[in-house]
Amino acid sequence: MGVPCIADNRKNLVDWALSGNHDTERPVLIDASNPSRFITRRKATELVTGLAGGFKKNTTVCLHISNDVLYPVLMLGILASRCRWTGTNISYTYYELAHHFRLSNTKYVITSPEHLHTVEAAISGLGFKVEIILFSDILGESESHIASSPTGDRELRTLHALLDRASNEQSLQTHLRGLSDDDIAVLQSTSGTTGLPKMAARTHHSMIMESQAIEDNNAAKPYEVRRLFCTPIFHAFSTQEMAINPLRLGYPTYFMTRFDDTFAQRVHDYGITETAAPPPMILRLLQATDQHHLLQSLRLIFSGGAPLAPELHHRMLGIFKVAPRIVQVWGMTEGGWFTTFKYPEVDTTGSVGRMLPGWEIRIDRETLIALPDGRNAGELLVKSAQLMTGYLGNTEATEATFTDGWLRTGDIGYVEDGKVYIVDRAKDLIKVNGWQVAPAEIEEALLQSPDVVDAAAISFGHGNDEHPMVFVVARDAGVEVQAIEAHLHSRLARYKVARIEVKLVELIPRNSSGKILRKVLRSLATENGQFGH
């Protein structure tokens, strides 16, 4: 089952993103906290041209900065240098950041002064050289080209230094010459269907296909498309609609650093008609009852990162005088968006959408289960040229993820009337506020504590209440739960462990080959059962 593939003759993502035919002087990327700070397509092209060639070819450049209107420009400047872009979560600890740098083989990292200490700590133990470039606002007046590190023992280049190189006199097309559509453009961190974080490698062609496939029927809409985003730009749910399609399609796109209590007011002030909101964000908007009147301009809400419960969907629709379309997005970092609903279709059945152009889907017959309503569901497999080429440097994990060219999604579901429905997850991943958290990552962090002999992590709770629960075999009876929690907070980003439950047990159930029996642990958790100590 599939839909036709879309083709385009552009050979790289930079050309594609800057290929729009809209007014080049129209503000497109706009700072929601300071709307006078904006970028037009003409300015973006000028800045990308200036940044092109600023990095050694065929290397990886990491952006470790918050959402900012300059982020798409920096990403395109990296690609125009014939390099690979990767992005990181600014809440990462130095340990997580070092793991990301090592997996992606990062050679340059662009970061802000407030994150410099963590970045330097991450780099210190890598064993290979990484240049730090300090973020400076290249939309403003010229700043110093050199800054000192916090220790004062070395000088760091700023973004202004990259712009003022003599080599940037070359045209953008000269810099892009030699870029191929099958060159790796993007490396994004993912835990896949199981295991530790890996780097999904996607080509220019893959990213162009996704950008074109997700384009909505905007010309038919009876309203002006004005977007506000606060979801993380480096996440596969957001990258296309925040970094590529605004410049290509020319719609005013406002950037917030993160979601906060000013979101609804900004929707109202800027006449926002479209936004992206994972289920936890929708829940917070619902809870702020005194702000519901500020959201009334919304006509479309994309929801992704985690399933949107039908009840939450219904409650959100109920706060509007004119109900917006709330459409789900299903996908994975390994291939971007797989499904959604395009204008004007409205769905209230709980479906995650219809397959986008270029995708095929089938159900793995070996995993079939009977649902209470009589339907059969199984693990969903997808195929497209839009998929990643594989996990960078990890052939074994890549081979385990694919079956005869089909990606194993780890999601249990079915297809009915052309719509895709997700009913469960086959994989062990934990969803926390829309973020993927790998049990293996938590377990590895636990086993680095001298207080822990063995450990296992599972998902506990449902929907917005889902969080990690860990079972720990302590080295001695004096070990306290608080000490284990403190260790996890020192090793992992807060969102991964903020709501973690720690249970001390006498042993971790395993099979004869040593594999953790997570089903047994889930039974113990749901039974409120015997946890040992």
In this prediction, residue 241 carries a pLDDT of: 97
- State the number of CA atoms in the 13 A half-sphere of 8 facing the CB: 23
Per-residue pLDDT in tens (0 to 9) along the chain, 533 residues: 665 554 445 589 999 999 988 999 999 999 999 999 999 999 999 999 999 999 999 999 999 999 999 999 999 999 999 999 999 999 999 999 999 999 999 999 999 999 999 999 999 989 999 999 999 999 987 666 666 665 556 689 999 999 887 556 688 999 899 899 999 999 999 987 677 789 999 999 999 999 999 999 999 999 999 999 999 999 999 999 999 999 999 999 999 999 999 999 999 999 999 999 988 899 899 999 999 999 999 999 999 987 788 888 999 999 999 999 999 999 999 999 999 999 999 998 999 999 999 999 999 998 888 877 888 889 999 999 999 999 999 999 999 999 999 999 999 899 999 999 998 776 677 888 878 787 878 888 898 899 998 888 988 887 788 899 999 999 888 899 999 999 999 999 999 999 999 999 988 887 655 668 888 888 888 765 433 33
Could you tell me which of 136, 124, 243 has the C-alpha nearest to residue 188?
Answer: 243
Q: Which CATH class is domain 430-526?
A: alpha beta
Could you tell me which of 359, 409, 25, 367 has the C-alpha nearest to residue 210?
Answer: 359
Spatial contact of 48 and 73, defined as CB atoms under 8 Å apart: yes
Q: Is residue 482 helix, strand or coil?
A: helix
For the chain, the structural domain boundaries read: 13-332, 430-526
The secondary structure element, H or E, covering residue 339 is: strand 336-340
Radius of gyration of the chain (CA): 23
Paired with 415 in beta bridges are 420
In this prediction, residue 142 carries a pLDDT of: 65
Cβ-proximal residues to 91 (8 Å cutoff; 6+ apart), any chain: 493, 494, 495
* Residues 310, 493: Cα–Cα separation, whole Å: 30
Q: Is the peptide bond before 344 cis (omega within 30 degrees of 0)?
A: yes
Number of helices and strands (H, E) in the chain?
A: 18, 30
Could you tell me which of 136, 138, 107, 134 has the C-alpha nearest to residue 123?
Answer: 107
* Residues 269, 264: Cα–Cα separation, whole Å: 9
Spatial contact of 457 and 332, defined as CB atoms under 8 Å apart: no
Residue 445: Cβ within 10 Å count? 24
Q: Which CATH class is domain 13-332?
A: alpha beta
